[in-house]
Amino acid sequence: MANTSSARKATRKIARRTIVNKSRRTQMRGAVRSVEEAIKSGDRNAALEAMKRAEPELMQAAQRNIIHKNNASRKVSRLTHAIAKLAK
């Protein structure tokens, strides 16, 4: 348990940020999932539309330190590559 007033305040602050970050992480994961489902179904146009929504979500999550920048870039790269394979 926090002993000082500043530590108690930090605990309250962390709890508030955790709620916001969980929401943003859930939103990001949903966007990625929609792209993966479109890829799995083989619908290239739906995958491209979903990717237009998912890429900004991933990059914003990286900017806000919800996920690491390289993790976001890797996810975008892999999803883009998977969509490109659908064209063949």
Cβ neighbours around 83 below 10 Å, total: 17
pLDDT digits (tens, 9 = 90+) for 58-85: 999 999 999 999 999 999 999 999 999 9
Radius of gyration in angstroms for the set of CA atoms belonging to the chain, rounded to a whole number: 17
Task: Indicate the residue type of 47.
Answer: A
Q: Give how many domains the chain has, as a whole number.
A: 1
Task: Indicate the residue type of 44.
Answer: R
Q: Residue 60 is encoded by which pair of tokens?
A: 């914003």
Residue-level length of the chain: 88
What's the pTM value of the predicted model, to 2 decimals?
A: 0.84
* Structural domain containing residue 15: 5-87
Tell me, what CATH number does 15's domain have? Answer: 1.20.58.110
Cα 13 to Cα 55: distance, rounded to the nearest angstrom? 29
